[in-house]
Amino acid sequence: MPQTIDRPVVVLLRLEGVAACAVGLAGYLALSDSWLMFALFALAPDLAMLGYVLGPKVGARLYNVAHTYVVPVSLAALGIWAVPEILPIACVWLVHIGVDRALGYGLKSETAFGLTHLGPVGRRA
């Protein structure tokens, strides 16, 4: 039987996603006014799902790397330190992950695509 997560914890994790989205959007608006660039990069992290062509283990790992806050925050740190041109991309990436979390899409299990750290995705029986 799959393990479930307490509802209050899921609500907090989803609110965390809303906060990340808000911070990323505020940062992007402060750094850029190009909605075309925003649109081009908004779904880029989902390209990691192509890893599922190589199997569920590889797919889940690539998806999870592309959907952790660690990567865009590290990119933002690099942008602040050395390459300011990448800061808007880091912000868009943060928005993407935040929206995913707010909608209940979490990090993927290697055993089932619909099983995430926020619980199952999709219809519940």
Task: Look up residue 2 and give its amino acid.
Answer: P
Q: Structurally, how many domains does the chain consist of? A: 1
Q: Is residue 67 part of a domain?
A: yes
Segment-wise mean pLDDT, segments of 10 residues, the chain, 125 residues: 69 94 97 93 95 94 96 97 96 97 89 77 55
Q: Is residue 34 part of a domain?
A: yes
Q: Is residue 118 part of a domain?
A: no
Q: Is residue 84 part of a domain?
A: yes
* Rounded CA separation 54/58 (Å): 6
Domain that holds residue 11: 7-113
Q: Is residue 85 part of a domain?
A: yes
Dig out the tokens for 120 from the structure: 């199952």
pLDDT in tens, 36-67: 999 999 999 999 999 999 999 999 999 999 99
What letter does residue 56 receive in the DSSP assignment? H
Q: Is residue 100 part of a domain?
A: yes
Task: Look up residue 41 and give its amino acid.
Answer: F
Q: Is residue 93 part of a domain?
A: yes
Q: Is residue 43 part of a domain?
A: yes
